[in-house]
Structure formats: C-alpha cells, structure tokens
Structure 1
Amino acid sequence: MTTSLWKSRNYRLLFASAAATNIGDGLAAVAVPWLATLLTGDPLLIGLVAAARHLPWFLFALPAGVVTDRYDHRHILIAADTLRVGLVTALVALALLAGPGTGPVLLMAGLTFLLGTAEVLRDNTAQTFLPSVVAKPQLERANGTLWATEQLAGQLLGPPLAGFLIGLAVALPFGIQTGLLVAAIGLTAAMRLGPREGGQAVLPPIAALKEGILWLWRDRELRRLAFLLGGFNFLGYGFWAVFVLYGQRVLRLDAFGYGTLLTAAACGGLAATLIGPWVLRHMAPATAIVTGMAGFTVASATLALGAPLWLVAGVLVLDGFTGMLWNIAQVSYRQRHIPGPLLGRVNSAFRFLGTGPAAFGAFVFGALIALGEGAGAVLLPYGLAALLAAALTLYAAFRLRLE
C-alpha cells in the first residue's frame, strides 16, 4: 500500500507541497508569537494576536465549505497560498520597520486575521482534496504520511530553525516562509487530476450551505464529536497561545530554547504518525479520540503545577503522541463517512463547531494571565484547562460512539 502511494505523481506533488508549507508554518509557529512579545509585554494583546489567527474559523468556515465543493480544489489551494505570500511579506516589513507599541500589535493582529482567513479556505480544501488523490482504503496511511511530514518539517525542523533565525534577524523566518509558499504554489499547479465527482454545483449557495449543515446535525455521533472537538480546541489553542509566555516567564527560555522545546510535542506526534495506522487497526476511533483527550488533560495539569523543564518536555511528547492518534482517527473517519459531493460543506460545518471556539480560547487565556498577579498568573489558565478537559474526557469516554 505504501508503494502504491508513492507511485502516484499527484500524491508525490501533494507531499512535497505539504512539506514546503509545513516548514513555513513551523517557522511561523515561533516567529509570530515571538514578534508579538517584542512589540508588547501585555498578555491580553499577545492573546489577541493569537485569537485573530483563529477567529476566521468562526466567521468563515461555513461559506468556505460551499466554495470548496463548488470550485476546483487545486485552484483554491493556489489562490489561498498566493494570498498568504502577500500577507507574510507584509509581516517581513512589520518585523523590519515596527517598534514596540499598541499600533504595530493591532496591525499584526489584522495581518494574522487575514492569514487565518486564507488558511480556513486552504485547510478545509486540503482535507477535502485528499480523497480525490488517493483511494479510500489508503486514507489512514496517506493522512499518517502527510502528518508525519507536518511533524518532521513543521514541528521538528521549523521551530528550532526559527529560534536560530530570530537570533540573526526577527524578519528572517518570515522571509524564508514566503519563499516556501511560492515553491508550494508551483508544486500544486503541477498536479493533474481527473474530473471531480458530480452533483456538487447544483444548489444555490444558501441551499448548498444548509444541506451540509443539516447533514452534520442529523448525524448524532459526528455532531457530538464536533462539539467535543470545539471544547478541546477552545482549551488547546488557549494552551498554545500563551505558551510563549510560559516558556519565557516560567521556564526562562530564549527563542532557540523555546523553539527546541516545541519539538517535544512533534517527537510524540511523529511517533504516532509512524505507528498510528497500525495502532488504529486495533483501536476503535472513539477510543483513540478519548486517549488524545486524556493526554491533553495530563499535559495541562503538569504545566499548571509549574513543573521543571524535563517534565514539561515529557508531557508534551505524550500530548503530541495521543493528540496525533486523535487527529488521524477523526479526520480519516470523516473522510470515509461523509459522502463525496457533501464533504467540503459538512467538513466546514464540522470545523465551524470544532475549530471556531479556538479564537475565544486564545483570547480568554491571555485575559486570565493579564488579570492575574505574580508568577502564578501564567499557571492559572493551565489549571482551568486541566479541570475542563478532565470533565470533557469523562463525558466522551461514556457517550462517544463512532462506528
């Protein structure tokens, strides 16, 4: 099965394009929050920058699904990445020219909002795109291989490289990301696909949107999974939105040390992508999802206690491993379970519920730190995350059933 994947020219191009964008995303994962901390020390404004990146999932996920089902997937990916090239170039200028102050931070929040908007369209299309590139029996392996690339390129290579580059010039990671996006556009443009499955461009936009929402709402278990994912993304994106402050204030890390620490989660995630398809042949999707929830709960509780660096790294490995199992299980389940002509719209409705709350989590976690006092203020959001995640995990363990 692995050999057949690599025999496909389209899959090889998709893989190479994903590798390029993932390295760039890994650079941005460190460079964006680090630049925000150079422009302001206010946790609320830092949380605002992170929230702006994810707010488009709440605002635009649903119409993005209609666009995905109606237009050529390859053209959408190219258009979204072209927009990202322009926006990341603007971040290069901001990093070179701006000094500390509220104005530059708000400008940065605006740019990250637009970046998030492009990513909504790109990410929804990319997940919908894969079943047209590989056969359904290959989805777990194809998803696992692509996520292995994401972990290796975006989280093992990208973050420490960003930390090193920031030491040279804070604008440098953004400049390299721009070049990688241009390469990804060329690779995507080289793909050649046959005709898409019919039936997706029949209804008017509002009716098409309604059809996707109703399909999701009538599927009780998929709807339940979407709400559970929304709860965990509220907590998870909040967790990572202020983790740069945890690294600076609790662990006393510089940019390179912070970027290197982020690779701990990537190590766990990479391990899961390598053995995940085998594990998931022996584990029900619901069990894999509950395992991912439990891993996040343990990680949040450990950070809330102000654990030493070695223990923080250890629980990030655990969270990365269990979280990746969750991702492979739930995305492959959706790709197999949802009818092809509806996949873009149902997937966007799912991610509206599942990813939309992320922006609010990022802002709330920043606000909690801003309202707190002393060194313990950075620990407070992680304690809250652990309590809420434990409750959601128990609910899922008893109620979630995916056939």
Structure 2
Amino acid sequence: MLSKGDLEGIDLRFARPGTNFGKLWTASTVSFLGDGVTLAAGPLLAASVTRDPILVAGVAVAQQLPWLLFSLPGGALVDRLDRRRVMWISDAVRCAAIGFLGGAVLLDLASLPILYAAFFVLGAATVPFSAASTSILPSVVTREGLAGANGRLFGAQVVAGQMVGPPLGGLLFASSTSLPFLVDAGSFVAASALVLAMDGTFRATGLQEAPRTTLRAEISEGFAWLWGHRLLRTLAMALGVMNLTSAATIAVLVLFAGGRLGLGSVGYGLLLSSLAVGGVLGALCAGRVVGWLGAGTTMRGGLLVEASTSAVIALSHNTYVVGTMLALFGFHAIVWNVVTISLRQELVPDGLLGRVNSSYRLLGMGGAAVGALLGGLLAKGFGLTAPFWFAAASVAVMTIVSWRTLGNGTVTAARENANTPI
C-alpha cells in the first residue's frame, strides 16, 4: 500500500474507486493477478510435458514473438482508435486464448503445440493492450501525477502479478492443472468489464486536423520520432538488451529452480514471488529514489544492479541468496519502469504516443522472444547457469555504452525541449 509521500503528485480525485483511474487501476490489478497465476502455471505445464530446456523456453518464445511481429501496427491503431476500446477488445481475446488452453488441459488434450498457440495469441493481444494502457494514462491523470500513477499501477503489478499470483498459480496447478488457466480467463472478463465502465472517449488528441495517411506512413512517423530522440532511443536499446537477457534467464528459471535449487512447483512459485517483494519496495520508493539521485543516475544504477544480480545467481546454489537477488532485481525493474514510462508520457506528443510507445516496445521487447530461445539453447549447450552469465556480461557492456547518455543533464535537457527530438 502506498504511503502519503508516495502519492504526492497524484491528483487524489483520480485515485478514488469510482473515477476513471480507479477503474483502470482495479482492472489492471485483477488482470495482473491472473497474469501472475499463468506466469507460474505455463512453464510448469510445459515442464510436465518435456524436460528439454529449448521446448520449455518455447512457451516464452511464443508469448514474446508477437512483440516483433505486431508492435508497430498495433501502436498505429492505438493512435487511430479509442484506446479504451482497444483495451477491452484485447482483454476479450486474451480471455478466449487462455480459456481455450484451460479447457484443453481440463479435457486432457493439452500438448506443446496447443500451449504454444495459446501463448502466442495471448502475446498478440497483449501488444495493443500494452500500447493502449500506457497511452491512455495521460488522459486519466494530470501530467504532474504521471509518476505517482505509474508507481501505483506498478505496485499493483508486483503485488498481484508477482507476489500473490505465482504462488497461487503453483498451488492451483498442484490442485488441478487446468484451474490456473481458467482463473486467468476469468480475470480478463472482469478487467474488460471495468475498462468498459470508464467514462468518456480516449482517442488521441492533435490528430483531428491532420489528414489521414496510410498505416505504413503513420508507423514510419512514430519510429522516426523515437529514433531522432537520443535519450529515448538509448533507453529503448538498453531495454532491448535487458529484456533479451532477462528472458533468457526467466525461460529456464523453472529448470534452474528444480535442478539446481531442488524446488517443486510451490517452491518455484514462491521463488518467483521474491521478485514482487523487491518490486513492492521499488513502487513505494521510486519517487524518493528519483528525487534523491535524479532520473539519470537512477537508471545508471539500475543497469549496475541488473548485471550484478545475474552474476550472483549464476554463482549460487542457495535458494535464499537467489531469492534475495531476484528481489533486488525486482526493485530495480519497477523503479526503471516508473522512471522510463513517465519520461515517455512526458516527452512524446499525445498524437504520437501509441506509435512511439510501440516502436519503443519493438526495440525493447522484441529481444525477449530471441532471448527466451537463446536461454534454452545456452542452458542445453552449456548448463543452467549459462543464461545468467550471458545476462551479466551483456548488461555490463550496455552499461558502458549508454553511461554518458543516461545522465541527469540529458534528462533535464529532454524535459526542457519536450515534444521535440534532441
């Protein structure tokens, strides 16, 4: 729960349950809980079918591949359509995909192809949903409240999606293999209804006067704007490296937990929840950390944390040490996201926000699909610690490359020249 200090900057009128932000936050919390349940249950289902690291990693590959395929057109559609409509339709598709998987498991028809197909559709619907949910927030809270509102949303994500959801998913899977997927499907129904209940229209502003062009031209405009902005371009590339390496480690974490740490399904769920412990602290402290260090120094420190935690995990056989490192990683990840998402919402014109966010996600999230496959290959060829060593080395290199750009001075200059590439 956020303290009063963490809510500074949020217009509290937007945080009440009956307001649009209250509905958005509640919908996100419900959906995050379902996501967390599936986060644990998906790899457990795959590991019950095969012990091949590459095939287990295939679940993560299937879910992340849509970021490479659909990010750019998804962002362009978000800037054309009512963003609330994009969100509830995406939730309905996600409900159908994960509900189908739950039904297949219930009828004992589940197989790796069905699992891959369900997670691919789940990921494909998440692409426009993510672009719309990020782009809609400046229409729901004041500009001064963006960091606080993002902190609240990320706080919900880590509590529901990482602290409560994964161990619940492990327990539900141990009880009935179909149950976690059916619970997740229900969460999407509830989230879709809450989004539909938001008042008003949420189309991008600043486009009414502009003549409608082709989808390809609109995509190119958003990508060109991002590529011309030195700070956001660097952040997108840094996120790409971090997501590639974290996907490589998460894809085989279920095998690492069982083979190296000796954990079962419940223990694996609890290990995942340690990410949330750090994430909760990150959501609570993000504003204070940024106020103390500045946004640039905070991001530099985050890169150092990510590289070092991967190295320590690779060296350890101790569950508590690994859990502590995952908690520290979770703290950094949430602070990083609060800082970088708030910056995008501040710096990008509303009429370009969906396309720039999607271009950013393509660079940042597209690597996750490659990383998941790479993690399986590294684990199979060199052992279960290889993905963690790869992550530590790669992020260390990215830290050196981006150090000068990720400074407080660059962030200040970008804010002073908001909406104009620097």
TM-score of Structure 1 vs Structure 2, range by shorter chain: over 0.9
What is the Cα deviation at residue 204 of structure 1? 2.2
Counterpart pick for 2:403 among 375, 386, 397: 397
Q: Match for residue 6 of structure 1?
A: 15
Cα distance in 2 between the residues matched to 1:315 and 1:61? 31
| Superposed CA RMSD | 1.5
Q: Does 1:84 align with 2:90?
A: no
The CA deviation string for residues 14-36 of structure 1, in whole angstroms up to 9 with x for no partner, is 11101110000000110011111
State the match for 1:122 in structure 2: 129
Cα deviation code 1:177-224 (max 9, x no counterpart): 111111111111110125642316732212111111111111122112
Judge conservation of contact 2:84–2:196 (CA < 8 Å) in 1: yes
1:3-42 matches, within 5 Å, as 3-7=12-16, 9-42=19-52
1:337 corresponding residue in structure 2? 347
Question: Is 2:160 the partner of 1:160?
Answer: no
Identify the residue that residue 53 of structure 1 maps to in structure 2. 63
1:380 aligns with 2:386: yes
Question: Unaligned 5+ residue runs, structure 2?
Answer: 1-8, 413-422
Take 1:209 and 1:366, find their aligned partners in 2: how far apart are those partners? 33
Secondary structure of 1:282's match? helix
TM-score normalised per structure 1: 0.95
Alpha-carbon distance, 1:130 to partner: 0.7
Match of 1:141 among 140, 144, 148: 148
Aligned-partner SS, 1:192: coil
Q: Does the 8 Å contact 2:33/2:164 carry over to 1? A: yes
TM-score (norm 2): 0.91
- Asked if the contact 1:162–1:173 (Cα under 8 Å) also holds between the matched residues in 2, the reply is yes
Distance 1:261 1:122, change over 3 A: same
Q: What CA distance in whole angstroms lies between the structure 1 residues aligned with 2:201 and 2:44? A: 43
2:206 alignment partner, one of 187, 191, 198:
198
Deviates more, 1:85-94 or 1:340-349: 85-94
Q: Distance in 2 between the 1:300 and 1:63 partners?
A: 34
Shift of 1:341: 0.5
Alignment equivalent of 1:234, drawn from 238, 244, 250: 244
**1:74 pairs with one of 84, 106, 123:** 84
Matched residue SS, 1:359: helix
Match of 1:179 in 2: 186
- The secondary structure found in structure 2 opposite 1:107 is helix
Aligned residue in 1 for 2:321 = 311
Kindly indicate whether the alpha-carbon contact (under 8 Å) linking 1:306 and 1:379 is maintained by their aligned counterparts in 2.
no
Provide the rounded CA distance (Å) in 1 between the counterparts of 2:238 and 2:202.
35
Q: Is the 8 A contact 1:293 1:323 kept in 2?
A: no
For the residues of structure 1 that align with 2:74 and 2:296, how far apart are their CA atoms? 27
Match of 1:243 in 2: 253
Structure 2 Cα separation of the partners of residues 125 and 239 of structure 1: 28
Q: Is the 2:274–2:323 contact (alpha carbons within 8 Å) kept by the matching residues of 1?
A: yes
Residue 276 of structure 1: aligned partner: 286
Query: Relative to structure 1, is the Cα distance of residues 250 and 274 closer, same or farther in structure 2, using a 3 angstrom cutoff?
Result: same
| 8 Å CA contact retained: 1:304, 1:382 | yes
Matching residue within 230, 234, 242 for 1:220: 230
The amino acid that maps onto 1:125 is A
Residue of structure 2 in register with 1:95 after alignment: 105
Q: Which amino acid aligns with 1:347?
A: N
1:289 maps to what in 2? 299
Answer with 283-292 or 234-243: which moved more. 283-292
Decide whether aligned partners of structure 1 residues 145 and 195 sit closer, same or farther in structure 2, where only a CA change above 3 A counts. Answer: closer
Q: Which amino acid aligns with 1:128?
A: S
Aligned with 1:54: secondary structure? helix
Deviates most, 87-96 or 163-172: 87-96
Question: Which residue matches 2:379?
Answer: 369
Tell me the CA shift for residue 355 of structure 1: 0.7
Distance in 2 (alpha carbons) for counterparts of 1:207 and 1:392: 31
Aligned residues: 396
Q: CA deviation at 1:398?
A: 3.0
Letter in 1 for 2:392: A
C-alpha deviation, 1:325, in angstroms: 0.9
